[in-house]
Amino acid sequence: MLNKVAKILFNIILTSVLLGAFFWFIKGEELQKEYSTFRKNSAPILLYHAVGEPVEIEWPPSLIMSAALFESHLQYLTQEGYTVVSVEKLTELLSEGASLNKVVAMSFDDGYRNNYTDVLPLLNKYNAKASFYIVNRDIGKTIYMDKEMLLNLLNCGMEIGSHTINHAPLALIDPKYLPWETGSAKKFLEEILEGYQLQGMAYPNGGYNAKVLEAVKQYGFTYGLTGKVGVNTSQNFGVAPYEMYRISVVDDGNGIEGLRHRMDRAYLWGFLQTKGIDLNIIRDWLMQ
Ligand SMILES: [Zn+2]
């Protein structure tokens, strides 16, 4: 426990020092310009879980967000002029090298029923699109969406992707189960969704390795979502379409500021990556 607290404290101090150093550094006008161009050519993917009615899950409560807070996020993004797209749409923009100025993608993991009852009406209200990553074994269980709900998501122009059959941490399981948790997960979900073609896989807990990348490619996925913090550009997508960046959005008690801070952090980490500095190395170490 103490170790965990120390790690969190260390993380906070380190992030603050780096942010401070960075903003001191970007006082240089040229670098500021470069950073602003970078932001126009990159897009964050926001990651949500449960939104709305509390669900009984053994998770930090921060991962469950009220519908009111989620709506304030949509309001904020709309006011700021963002277009909210599905990840599939974002991958199209990335492949075309299209402008990503004020583009943000939204994603929901695990397939909670409240994603249908609470999230979908709000997405429709704000003309926003999103992607939902589904765990096969949970479809239709009490707190999860059923087949009809998933089909309705598709009818509303949303995207559905895979989150494996058993929410398997792909980098940690015996590789002999990879075809099952990736290839079969895709095939079974496509059957349930009456022939809809899945494009994306969101790796449970964000973890992956070379064997996982090989499997998702082999079984016909066109992109993969990691837990690494950063933003997506035509350059990094072109090199690693199965290692896209996401930013987890939680209820940290700071309301809309919390979202703004997380988005800024994603852009900043992405910009530093273009300079050869990947803070995910520290993040991975802290999460060990
Ligand atoms: Zn998950």
- Cβ–Cβ under 8 Å, residues 180 and 165: yes
- Cβ–Cβ under 8 Å, residues 110 and 129: no
Residue listed under structure tokens 């309705």: 152
- Closest to 272 in 3D by CA, of 25, 97, 51, 81: 25
Model confidence at 11, in pLDDT bands (50, 70, 90)?
low
Per-residue pLDDT, 27: 65
Per-residue pLDDT, 30: 84
Residue 7 CA, ligand 1 centroid: distance in Å: 23
Give CA–CA dist 183/195, Å, rounded: 15
Residue 225 CA, ligand 1 centroid: distance in Å: 11
Residue listed under structure tokens 């426990």: 1
Q: Give the architecture (CATH level 2) of 41-286.
A: Alpha-Beta Barrel (3.20)
Per-residue pLDDT, 7: 65
pLDDT in tens, 157-184: 999 999 999 999 999 999 999 999 999 9
Give CA–CA dist 72/66, Å, rounded: 10
Per-residue pLDDT, 114: 93
Per-residue pLDDT, 213: 98
Q: What residue spans define the domains of the chain?
A: 41-286
Residue 164 CA, ligand 1 centroid: distance in Å: 9
Q: Where are the beta strands (DSSP E) in the chain?
A: 45-48, 50-51, 64-65, 83-85, 103-109, 131-134, 159-162, 200-202, 223-225, 247-248
Mean pLDDT of 143-166: 97
Residue listed under structure tokens 């993969």: 224
Q: Does 288 have pLDDT greater than 60?
A: no
Find the helix packing angle between 255-274 and 67-79, rounded to 10°: 60
Query: Considering the entire predicted model, what is its pTM?
Result: 0.90
Residue 32 CA, ligand 1 centroid: distance in Å: 36
pLDDT in tens, 36-94: 999 999 999 999 999 987 666 666 666 789 999 999 999 999 999 999 999 999 999 99
Mean pLDDT of 115-142: 97
Per-residue pLDDT, 187: 98
Mean pLDDT of 121-143: 97
Residue 135 CA, ligand 1 centroid: distance in Å: 8
Per-residue pLDDT, 32: 87
Q: Does 190 have pLDDT greater than 60?
A: yes
| Cross-strand bridge partners of residue 131 | 107, 159
Per-residue pLDDT, 59: 65
Model confidence at 281, in pLDDT bands (50, 70, 90)?
confident
**Exposed/middle/buried for residue 198 (C-beta within 10 Å: 0-12, 13-18, 19+):** buried
- The region of weakest confidence among 1-5, 137-141, 269-273 is 1-5
Per-residue pLDDT, 282: 78
- The region of weakest confidence among 10-14, 47-51, 139-143 is 10-14
pLDDT in tens, 208-244: 999 999 999 999 999 999 999 999 999 999 999 999 9
Per-residue pLDDT, 23: 66
Residue 261 CA, ligand 1 centroid: distance in Å: 23
Return all residues near 159 (Cβ < 8 A) that are at least 6 apart: 86, 87, 88, 89, 129, 130, 131, 132, 199, 200
Per-residue pLDDT, 147: 98
Residue type, 61: P
Read off the tokens for 132.
């939902």
Residue 168 CA, ligand 1 centroid: distance in Å: 9
Read off the tokens for 84.
């909210």
Residue 253 CA, ligand 1 centroid: distance in Å: 22
By percentage, how much of the chain surpasses pLDDT 70? Answer: 87
Q: Does 1 have pLDDT greater than 60?
A: no
- Cβ–Cβ under 8 Å, residues 87 and 161: yes
Return all residues near 42 (Cβ < 8 A) that are at least 6 apart: 100, 231, 232, 233, 267, 270
- Cβ–Cβ under 8 Å, residues 150 and 192: yes
Residue 162 CA, ligand 1 centroid: distance in Å: 10
